[in-house]
Amino acid sequence: MFRDTISKQDRELVFFTRDLVTKHIAPRALEYDAHGNDSFDSSALDILAEHNLLAPIISPEYGGRGLSTLVTAMIMEEIAAGCAGVAASVAANIHAICPLLVAGTEEQMRQYLPLMTAPKTSLGAIAIMENGFNLDILLQTEEVNICGSSLKAKSGNQEDMIINGSKDYVMNAAAANFITTMIEYDNDSEPISSRFQLLIIPMDTPGIKLDEPRRKLGLRYCSTSAIHFQELKAEPQFMIGSPGTGMQIFAECLYRTVPFIGAICVGVARAAYQHALEVSKERRISGHPVFQESTVSHSLVNMASKLNAARLSVHHACWRIDQGHDYTLTSPQAKLVSSQAAQDITSRAMEIVGSQAYVNGNKAEKYLRDAKMLSIVDGSEQFHRYLLASQL
């Protein structure tokens, strides 16, 4: 349905990306998965960078492709069908620059955005999550129970802010050129919703320490680490938006970018479905393909139906963003629907593929792990249910 709304040029780009991923990324997906927790390999991202696909949503004014949210989501699905970890790195890139697109100064955009559109891999990292940090403030209820960030600014004075604290689960951390993060002013006299500030910080700034990469269940290609800030001096040019607007900007960016995670879910689900379909026509039982067993073929029908429903939900959310309509319902709905579909489809694919799927190094078990990991990226299913329930 929504594919008919994009231009011929954009459709050709989507198909080009599919061919690119099929030839150069998908064949190495299991290799990326096997070694991703131990070392960072930029080869997959280098291929995408050559074709300006690391942040295709950036305007041509800054060297980008200027793709719509909808077309970008279609691109993300194609990358994810080849390797969800690679797609997660691209999504982290877009997450890192979204605050600039929403509230950045012209100087900030000219400094950072062209890095993401160059033919050489350049990454941004988004550092929001930390152990114990509560994002209930996004629910916008009258009684907010929020646990403040551990990342504190000793002074609210923009000319003299010293940052201490840590962020965890930072995607792209090991290879990022800059990091977008959120701090809390150490000022109890201000309302909690006005004490947060977004910053964009070059990774070579003194005071940044990077931990060893996390060993993750899935999305292993996307290097993920904890980052520690020790007496880091936050320069005024690091600030994104007006003082105290960090949570509002972050909330807007979350709603605008979470459909991209939904698109990755769709890509993983599609790959798992296609793999299960192929295997069902090759595996034999009683002299005929297992596909001819109604329990198997009917399961594949259900998988295909859920896949299409998830894709439509993601495309609908993206279309509403592009059209300037309200998307505070459709964006979390897209993440919820696509995440559930990906987990269900990858689980059913394991059953159809059979015993070989339960051995490390099989595509089916990688899809299952990636789908489970995606269920908590950009907020768990429970978190998005809270967001949706607050708007009912």
pLDDT per position as a tens digit, 190-204: 666 678 899 999 999
Of residues 38 and 365, the one with the higher pLDDT is: 365
CATH architecture of residue range(s) 248-389: Up-down Bundle (1.20)
- Confirm if 150 and 164 have CB atoms less than 8 A apart: no
Average pLDDT, the chain: 90
Q: What is the pLDDT of residues 231-263, one digit of tens each?
A: 999 899 999 999 889 999 999 999 999 999 999
- The percentage of residues in the chain with a pLDDT greater than 70, rounded to a whole number, is 91
Residue 183: predicted pLDDT: 87
Superfamily in which the 127-246 domain is placed by CATH = Butyryl-CoA Dehydrogenase, subunit A, domain 2 (2.40.110.10)
pTM: 0.93
pLDDT at residue 155 in the model: 54
pLDDT in the model for residue 142: 35
Q: Which CATH class, in words, describes the domain spanning 2-122?
A: mainly alpha
Indicate if the pLDDT at residue 161 is higher than 90: no
* pLDDT the model gives residue 151: 61
Q: Which amino acid is at 277?
A: L
Show me where the domains of the chain are located. Answer: 2-122, 127-246, 248-389
Structure tokens at 193: 């919703």
Based on C-alpha coordinates, what's the Rg of the chain? Answer: 21
Three-state SS string over 102-163 comes to HHCCHHHHHHHHHHHHCCCCCEEEEECCCCCCCCHHHHCCCCCCCCCCCCEECCCCCCCEEE
What pLDDT is stored for residue 157 in this prediction? 56
pLDDT in tens, 84-132: 999 999 999 999 999 999 999 999 999 999 999 999 999 999 998 877 6
pLDDT at 292 over 50: yes
